[in-house]
Structure 1
């Protein structure tokens, strides 16, 4: 056993078997990034004095997430190309496609905007619901990431609260700006 592993075990971090339900780090990163992106985009939609048009707004949020996902994945491809050979490979396509959690994270906000298109509620209500949902989801993703890293419940809830703070900052900024 290495000295580092022994040191970690003494500090109370037990060795964990890999969980089949443990998401890859990239999925957690992309999911959290997608929630923050969705919150920022949705908050920007609710401009005072503008005519609400939730259909195009939902499309705009989705297309922006797709473009961000592709750009982020392509940045990984460029970084890999710079560090190794320059040939295009299937693994590079996988780098781009691995950003799917970013797009998936904006889908609840898009669905809430589409509910406004259907007349179930006003766009401003959809925006408020999406901001609230994303803030709670940020807590969940942060706590889940900490739990899968082996942290206890108090520490995981603290990590979730810090992630949730990002959503609260967006909500407060949205309220102050508008």
Structure 2
């Protein structure tokens, strides 16, 4: 294999690098924060509105992360390649994916006739649960001991609890 083939293989490997699980945890926290920040002191949004808010926020933050990554990594040159954008976009995509479960929960709750506040609380619970699940998955995948798994769970539950408390304080 010559140098050209090695460079091509390295480039193909970089294109296939796995998603960043931190993005999934961050996206779940972001989704929970979006739900917590909706409707303070007023009526919660309808489930359809909440779905759009969650998904749009995920996409906007995904674009912001991709842009920041590309500019930060390539500040010495003006133009970036389409391939670099695709690689950065794929790596940050879990931010958008993390918005889907709470958005789906809000939508399903709306279809089932759950009141708007109930749909918002369900979306918040799903977002916090996703955050916890991703954190535990990442820790387990990294070979964490049981002690570290419990610590990761506690830290993420505390973060989730803070968001839930903020939601409760803002809506009452």
Using structure 2 for the length normalisation, give the TM-score: 0.79
Give deviations 1:63-91, integer Å, cap 9, x for gaps.
11101001111100001111x54432112
Pick 1 or 2: higher relative contact order, CA cutoff 8 A, min separation 6: 2
Does residue 89 of structure 2 align to residue 96 of structure 1?
A: yes
2:166 alignment counterpart: 173
1:87 alignment counterpart: 79
1:47 alignment counterpart: 40
2:66 alignment counterpart: 73
SS in 1 for 2:98: helix
Does residue 71 of structure 2 align to residue 58 of structure 1?
A: no
CA-atom RMSD in angstroms: 2.1
Structure 2 gaps of 5+ residues are: 1-16
Instruction: Give the distance between the partners of 2:77 and 2:141, measured in 1 at CA.
Output: 34
State the shift of 1:42 in Å: 1.0
Structure 1 gaps of 5+ residues are: 1-22
Give deviations 1:9-64, integer Å, cap 9, x for gaps.
xxxxxxxxxxxxxx94x521100111011001112224343264221221121111
Runs of 4 or more consecutive aligned structure 1 residues displaced over 3 Å after TM superposition = 46-49, 84-87
1:94-133 paired onto structure 2 within 5 Å:
94-133=87-126
Using structure 1 for the length normalisation, give the TM-score: 0.77
Contact 2:47/2:120 (CA < 8 Å) preserved in 1?
no
Q: In the comparison of the two structures, how many residue pairs are matched?
A: 154
Give deviations 1:63-122, integer Å, cap 9, x for gaps.
11101001111100001111x544321123321232111111111111122123324312
2:130 to 128, 137, 146: 137
Instruction: Give the distance between the partners of 2:57 and 2:88, measured in 1 at CA.
Output: 19
Pair 1:51–1:102, CA change in 2 (3 A): closer
Instruction: Give the distance between the partners of 1:30 and 1:72, measured in 2 at CA.
Output: 10
Pair 1:34–1:95, CA change in 2 (3 A): same
SS in 2 for 1:98: helix
Instruction: Give the distance between the partners of 1:130 and 1:54, measured in 2 at CA.
Output: 9
